Structure 1
Amino acid sequence: MPRDSNSASYSPDQAGRRRGKLKIFLGYTPGPAKTAAMLGNAQRDARDGMDVVLGLAGGHPMASSSGFDKIEPIWMPTPEEEAEGHYEFDLDAALRRNPDMILLEQLAHVNAEGCRHKRRYQDVEELLRAGIHVYTTLDIQQIESLTDIAASITGISVQERIPDSVFERADLVELVDADPDELADRYRKGRMRPDELVQDGQDISGLYVPEKLRPLREIALKTAAQQLRRIAMLINEQAKKEDNPYKDHILVCLSPAPSNQKVIRTAARMAEVFHGQFTALYVEAPERETGDARNSDQATKMQLRENLKLAEQLGAQIATVYGDDISVQIAEYVKMSRVTKVVIGRSPVIKKAFYNTSIVDRLIPLIPNSETYIIPYVDNEGGKKFRFPATAPLPTPKDSLKSLVILLVCTLFGVWFKELGFREANIITLYLLGVLLNATITKGRFYSAILSLLSVLVFNYFFTTPYYSLKTYDSGNLVTFVVMLTASLLASTLTMRVREQARQAAQKAYRTEILLETSRKLQQAGDAPAIIEGTARQLVKLLDRAVVFYPVERNKLASPIVFPNREETVDPSRYTDESEQAVANWVFANNKRAGATTDTFFGARCLYHAVRGGEEVLAVSAIVMDEGEVLGSFEQSLVIAMLGECALALEKEKLNEQQKEITMQVRQEQLRANLLRSISHDLRTPLTSISGNAGILLNNSRVLDEEQRIGLYADIYDDSIWLINLVENLLSISRIDNGTMRLNLQAELIDEVIMEALRHVNRNSEKHILRTEIEDELLMARMDSRLVVQVLINLVDNAIKYTQEGSVILISARKSGESILVEVSDDGPGIPDDVKERLFEMFYTGNNVSADGRRGLGLGLALCQTIIQAHGGTIGVRDHSPRGSVFYFTLRAEEVNIHE
């Protein structure tokens, strides 16, 4: 696993920085002083105040005298021998140092095994994302799309390359030019550094002749000029999109052939020149048995994987279709996607193969409205040519025995038919039936073709004169044999095609069913954990592999969740150890794919994908790749589609949560506004009364008699108690709503709670008749007595306020099933039915005015409802017979233990 894999790639400070800028010092060959130009530019930047650090600059003499701080390289030993290895750039140390700029030579360098990334340009990408500027060097033949052209000039094929997209994203490109004659003269005089004469471990001294250097220089000048045009076009990119909505669409056809890489590079250059959309199409063709990775040989699978990866690196959008007729599938895609240019390869070595030549020949008439570019291929690798696997598998004893048994059965039935007097035409149909049956139960056309030929021979031997001889006297039999053989071959071909199409349809239906089922399950999922579980189960079902998911909680990855394969027991520790979690954290921080079968953390056991919503990572998925089998292109596209569905569902769930929070905030704001409005309006009367009565007592105390003073004191007291009760209700409601009030539930006697409440009711209760009626003195309920006392006080005060003097107010309690029913009834004017529905709403008063002329805020009954519901009970109101109202609530009953 990579060294220091547990170290974080991003710190919060780095994540907030702007992306760094990349400047490439481009040369057409090693030797034109690219490193010296890079160091010279960096020294000027350092004099301007930039913090410049030397990453790796080879053995250039200027590096030691530049005065820059240096990132010490790390020693990466080879797996076979600890003493052997290479010094590599320490990416983690550079991220911790976090300078303004880093100098890195050889952008296309391939890192040693054990580094985080396979290639140095991936290290550079991570530095840029961390906000660090990078200066680096590059040779023109190391740009992927130009590799073949440079190799045709120099005869040297380089292995250290970068995708064109990396070069195109460079913010600045400086061409370091040198005269070819002077460069060749430097080589002849031995004035070149030894490391400049070695590239990819091979001697390139034969390159330094003017005849090879001049065309390379011309390519470098054109590439640099093209980059300048590209930057100019980016400035007006939005305007160009509006002026030309129908851009060119270039399609390259993929195959497992090594020659296909040249086709891909050619198409990439065309897409760059025409500034068009670039798509790479792969047709999974079962007849050729190269589309199914499980059935093709390992070399073919690896070559196909390399071609797909190359297309992705060059900026192509990968598309996969499935069908037995490759040319028809390509033509259908061209028409549906409005492709304007099709790039396809043709190797002269396999031109004799009927099936492969027919792909190009049949494709051109099918797409008359699109331009077709056929790229020839000349092999420079010692005559080793790619050949597609045979269209039919090798004969097997099992299928051979089936064919012989069918032939024998048909012959026996034919002899029987002959004895019964049937004509030869009937016997011929018998053999045709045998060929059809054989095509159904055997694999490949080989058996059907052999059986067709044998059927003709056996028919001639047993059923035509002379019997038991392959000779024939009737010239018409020859026509019969030819027709019989042709009909057998056609029938077997059609039968096999129908069987293959049925298999394809079943496979497509299965994959479509998984996608539809995934969408349906994600729509039905109620929360984020259910969404993740549904996606993981569907991935396991599709891939038949274990899957690990890392949810995101509070802007960091939570503990991994392992979803094992259906048919095997998975040890979670193998896929969730520190090194694997480090890869998941890197994917979360960088929003990029990593792990097995990629160039980043390629030693991991799992393939990691970021489940992203826009630029935000919502989760990280890991697909176990222990079997060493890579995902097919179609499987990979399905995985991306399913993870996209998961991201949409998670994003929707997140938006729903945010909407709920916003709704709650709006509700709280409305509550606050209503409260302030009600307080400002309804508190004016008691406060004015208190201040007025207090002013009278202060200014006229000597004039007032004792009775008048006591009346004023009583009014002040009543208004003060009203304000105190209001404040208590407000505080109680706020504490219960925000969850800060905890219920202290205990078994309490109902009689004691009612008596305690009656001691704190309104002073005006003396003007009413208060009675209690309790079914049993030992009646107990589970409650927080302090809050229930407040409920009873509010209900009794409410009855006192809104009934006439002398009314009877009855507080009763009795057991009703498993609950205690408490009622507060009166014989007042009663409550209208339309008011009862909203009586317990906060701030609702129903335009009722109490007997003392005060109007309440509508908090008392709302508070009662909140308290009773917190106890798990119910509260309500009904009419009292013959007149009045009854407020009731329930509490959970408690049994009295007489033994205690």
Structure 2
Amino acid sequence: MKEMRRPTPEELLSQLKSQPDKGEGTLKIFFGYAAGVGKTYAMLEAAHRAKKQGVDVVVGYVEPHTRPETMKLLADLEVLPTRSVEYKGMKLSEFDLDGALARRPQLILVDELAHTNAAGSRHVKRYQDIKELLRYGIDVYTTVNVQHIESLNDIVASITGVTVAERVPDDVFDRAELIEVIDIEPDDLIERIESGKVYKNERAKKALGSFFTKKNLGALREIALRRTADKQNRAALAEGGAVNAGEHVITCISAAPSNAKVIRTAARLAEAFHSRFTALYVETGGGRHGGGDNGRCLQMNIKLAEDLGAQIVTAYGDDISEQIAQYAKQSGATKVVLGRTNHKNGLFGRKKSLIDRLTETAPELDVYIIPDRQPPYRAKKRYGAVGVNLSWRDTARAALIFAAATLLSLAFFRAGFQNINTISFYMLAVLFTSIWTHGHIYGVALSFASVAAFNFLFIEPLYSFTMYDPAYPAILAVMLCASLLTSSLTSRIKRQAELASGNAYMTEVLLETSQLLNKSEGFAATAEVTERQLRKLLDRPVFIYGETPQGTLALISPAELPDTEKIYQSEEEMGVAEWVRTNNHRAGATTDTLPGAKCLYMAVRGDGGGSVLAVAAVAARSLPPLSALEKNLIRAMLDECGVALEKAMLYDRWVSKKA
């Protein structure tokens, strides 16, 4: 095995640019239903056949086996050195993506498609390494088992009792031009395990007693064959242009632990009907799940839906069933997939479930209910974020309103007015407090304080919480309920008004962006407009990079950056932007490619969606996560910017020729 020097990023980029581009590479997957069926062996045999035909074949990475038959096939093939990575005191051997790109063979073998790379790698997952190889025109052979396919994860787990952590999005499997199913009889596989050809000693006995039962293997084999047949069927329909335009499947995204199963089921249903697939997130007045366990679960479920090909849509409102029904009517959805409602009962008994309300609101929808075995779920209260949002200013406002209501009530009481006027003043105090403070905690607190003050100051005997008249407890209870109801309704109306105002602001920014882009002249002016409008929309640093005459990337905006934004202009950050320009794929923070970056980097493409005209960087590290709506708006603005940049480039050429 010859020694190879690891190239620098500059050498690698220069070498890749100097070589001719043959287009996308071809992906072939050796597909099995369990470990030990012979995927790696079949892949190596196919590599030898390709080598005999004159193909430049290189082994990028093959999982180290103790199986002599498999290792023997590596003898006559060129094997690239692996990359050594330190992780928790251990040295791990990983596939060297940069070394493979520098070698640039016609065909490369990369075992274990679903593998998760060690921390610090360019990509989080190995299938992303393979995607990059394919973009550079390198053909790839790889292997994967059926339990690693994302949409089948729940089905396999229900059969085997094992939930696989390393999974591959369905679109990666479906994009493979060639699928070779490595199929042997379950009895033959069990015999191989018993003879020690797959696992050794105690591990073999443990495998045969749990995962590798004849019943499990038979079911997995059937799923693998059916999934391959479905893939071929979809490919044939796509070539014929057959799309079921009448069907549209939607599902809802939440932070519930069982939501991932619902999303996968909805994706399989959309695939079966060859229909559009939308994942709807309803943001209620309580605010978004920005952090904590709820926020992490929500972001994971949104990413899962994106990986399964769903369009992410955000709706706003407190009535989730009403929002689903409205969106279904507007988008022409025909089927909705929901999880079984297993929330805990309320204080006054069981309320109507989401499914019951939805079937009443939209009886024309086909509703699919996915059961789960998760314990009853209730979102954790976000006291510090939304429910209790204390500030000195709001506390002072509430105290002043309460004091004013008490003074007015005392004045009217001493003037001989009845207590009904006192109650009205305190009700107004609760109403104004709910309007002029943030969160509902002040309105609730003032409701209890008003009842206590009314009892102490205006009910005989005065200056005591004792009550002689038996009617007063009922009056106080009614007053408390009315105050709490007033506070709740006022807070809800206020939140809905804030949401409507936010939507109106976003719409205004989009319209303004469209007008400004139409008026802009020249590449730099167009890019600066886009950067300014994205900053205005997101309220965070945004940068647009364009290509210089020397062929490198540079920040387009000529303005001097403040010191707080210079951290986004490091050499490492520029390297991520350069990678996005070269690969025409997003990277950076919140993605699985170069996730250690401080910004999310996205390509700005022309009208045809091909070449990269510029790169947009949105600050994301140590900032609140971007919502699905914000990401959709960014894509929409960058698409519009790409069209405007193409026109601007034509304008610049015309000006240069005229000069």
Compute the TM-score of the two structures, normalised by the length of structure 2: 0.88
* Matching residue's letter, 1:128: L
Other-structure match for 1:73: 82
Other-structure match for 1:870: none
Q: Distance between the aligned counterparts of 1:402 and 1:15, measured in 2?
A: 70
* 2:267 corresponds to 1:268: yes
Other-structure match for 2:246: 247
Other-structure match for 1:142: 148
**Superposition map of 1:700-715 within 5 A:** none
* Matching residue's letter, 1:653: A
* Maintained 8 Å contact 2:521/2:651: no
Q: Distance between the aligned counterparts of 2:126 and 2:51, measured in 1?
A: 24
Other-structure match for 1:178: 184
CA change 1:565–1:154 in 2 (3 A) is: farther
* 2:590 corresponds to 1:597: yes
Deviation of 1:119 after TM superposition, in Å, equals 0.9
Q: Distance between the aligned counterparts of 2:586 and 2:306, measured in 1?
A: 13
What is the root-mean-square deviation in Å for CA atoms of aligned residues? 3.3
Counterpart secondary structure, 1:137: strand
Superposed CA deviations along residues 403-452 of structure 1, whole A, max 9, x for unmatched, are 56644543342232122122232222112111112212344334434433
* 2:500 corresponds to 1:499: no
**Superposition map of 1:170-319 within 5 A:** 170-193=176-199, 206-237=210-241, 240-241=242-243, 244=244, 246-287=245-286, 289-291=287-289, 293=290, 297-319=291-313
Q: Distance between the aligned counterparts of 1:157 and 1:148, measured in 2?
A: 8
Other-structure match for 1:687: none
Q: Distance between the aligned counterparts of 2:650 and 2:420, measured in 1?
A: 74
* 2:128 corresponds to 1:122: yes
Q: Distance between the aligned counterparts of 1:440 and 1:560, measured in 2?
A: 44
Superposed CA deviations along residues 78-125 of structure 1, whole A, max 9, x for unmatched, are 3x54xx221111222222222221111100111112222111111111
CA change 1:491–1:457 in 2 (3 A) is: same
* Match of residue 451, structure 1, among 433, 437, 446: 446
Superposed CA deviations along residues 524-572 of structure 1, whole A, max 9, x for unmatched, are 2221111111111222233333333221356944423467898x52464
CA change 1:71–1:622 in 2 (3 A) is: same
Compute the TM-score of the two structures, normalised by the length of structure 1: 0.66
Q: Distance between the aligned counterparts of 1:469 and 1:578, measured in 2?
A: 70
* Maintained 8 Å contact 1:457/1:470: no
* Matching residue's letter, 2:94: E
Q: Distance between the aligned counterparts of 2:230 and 2:655, measured in 1?
A: 52
* Matching residue's letter, 1:539: L
CA change 1:350–1:25 in 2 (3 A) is: farther
* Matching residue's letter, 2:56: D
Could you say which structure has the larger radius of gyration? 1
Other-structure match for 1:789: none
* Matching residue's letter, 1:70: V
CA change 1:413–1:340 in 2 (3 A) is: same
* 2:331 corresponds to 1:337: yes
* Match of residue 471, structure 1, among 467, 483, 496: 467
CA change 1:621–1:213 in 2 (3 A) is: same
Counterpart secondary structure, 1:11: helix
Deviation of 1:330 after TM superposition, in Å, equals 2.4
CA change 1:282–1:397 in 2 (3 A) is: closer
**Superposition map of 1:750-765 within 5 A:** none
CA change 1:376–1:470 in 2 (3 A) is: farther
* Match of residue 389, structure 1, among 375, 381, 387: 381
Counterpart secondary structure, 1:227: helix
* Maintained 8 Å contact 1:54/1:69: yes
Q: Distance between the aligned counterparts of 1:322 and 1:308, measured in 2?
A: 16
**Superposition map of 1:358-437 within 5 A:** 358-379=353-374, 387-389=379-381, 393-394=387-388, 396=390, 398=392, 403=398, 406-437=401-432
**Superposition map of 1:735-774 within 5 A:** none
Counterpart secondary structure, 1:54: strand
CA change 1:43–1:658 in 2 (3 A) is: same
Superposed CA deviations along residues 308-339 of structure 1, whole A, max 9, x for unmatched, are 11111111111122333333222222111111
Deviation of 1:35 after TM superposition, in Å, equals 0.8
Deviates more, 1:388-397 or 1:611-620: 388-397
* 2:643 corresponds to 1:648: yes
Q: Distance between the aligned counterparts of 1:194 and 1:24, measured in 2?
A: 27
* Match of residue 616, structure 1, among 611, 614, 617: 611
CA change 1:442–1:565 in 2 (3 A) is: farther
Q: Distance between the aligned counterparts of 1:571 and 1:465, measured in 2?
A: 65
Structure 1 unaligned residues grouped into runs of 5+: 665-736, 740-900
Deviation of 1:598 after TM superposition, in Å, equals 1.1
* Matching residue's letter, 1:336: Q
CA change 1:625–1:486 in 2 (3 A) is: closer
CA change 1:394–1:550 in 2 (3 A) is: closer
Superposed CA deviations along residues 447-471 of structure 1, whole A, max 9, x for unmatched, are 4344334534543554455655543
**Superposition map of 1:803-882 within 5 A:** none
* Matching residue's letter, 1:206: S
Superposed CA deviations along residues 329-387 of structure 1, whole A, max 9, x for unmatched, are 222221111111112224525465899975444333222222122323323xxx79662
CA change 1:412–1:279 in 2 (3 A) is: same
Matched length: 641
* Matching residue's letter, 1:600: T
Other-structure match for 2:3: none
Superposed CA deviations along residues 36-69 of structure 1, whole A, max 9, x for unmatched, are 1112222222223322221212234434434221
Superposed CA deviations along residues 707-736 of structure 1, whole A, max 9, x for unmatched, are xxxxxxxxxxxxxxxxxxxxxxxxxxxxxx
Q: Distance between the aligned counterparts of 2:165 and 2:80, measured in 1?
A: 26
Counterpart secondary structure, 2:554: coil
Other-structure match for 1:886: none
Other-structure match for 1:168: 174
Deviation of 1:397 after TM superposition, in Å, equals 8.3
CA change 1:484–1:570 in 2 (3 A) is: closer
* Matching residue's letter, 2:530: T
Superposed CA deviations along residues 724-754 of structure 1, whole A, max 9, x for unmatched, are xxxxxxxxxxxxx9x9xxxxxxxxxxxxxxx
Superposed CA deviations along residues 454-497 of structure 1, whole A, max 9, x for unmatched, are 5345435544556555435365x566545534432332223212
Superposed CA deviations along residues 505-534 of structure 1, whole A, max 9, x for unmatched, are 332233233222322222222211111111
Other-structure match for 1:607: 600
Q: Distance between the aligned counterparts of 2:346 and 2:200, measured in 1?
A: 48
* Maintained 8 Å contact 1:343/1:372: yes
Other-structure match for 1:57: 62
Q: Distance between the aligned counterparts of 1:127 and 1:397, measured in 2?
A: 53
Structure 2 unaligned residues grouped into runs of 5+: 1-5
CA change 1:514–1:557 in 2 (3 A) is: farther
| More relative contact order, 1 or 2 (CA 8 Å, 6+ apart) | 2
Counterpart secondary structure, 2:13: coil
Other-structure match for 1:694: none
Other-structure match for 2:319: 325
Q: Distance between the aligned counterparts of 1:182 and 1:15, measured in 2?
A: 47
Superposed CA deviations along residues 667-688 of structure 1, whole A, max 9, x for unmatched, are xxxxxxxxxxxxxxxxxxxxxx
* 2:37 corresponds to 1:32: yes
Superposed CA deviations along residues 583-618 of structure 1, whole A, max 9, x for unmatched, are 222211221101122111222232211000121211
CA change 1:447–1:21 in 2 (3 A) is: same
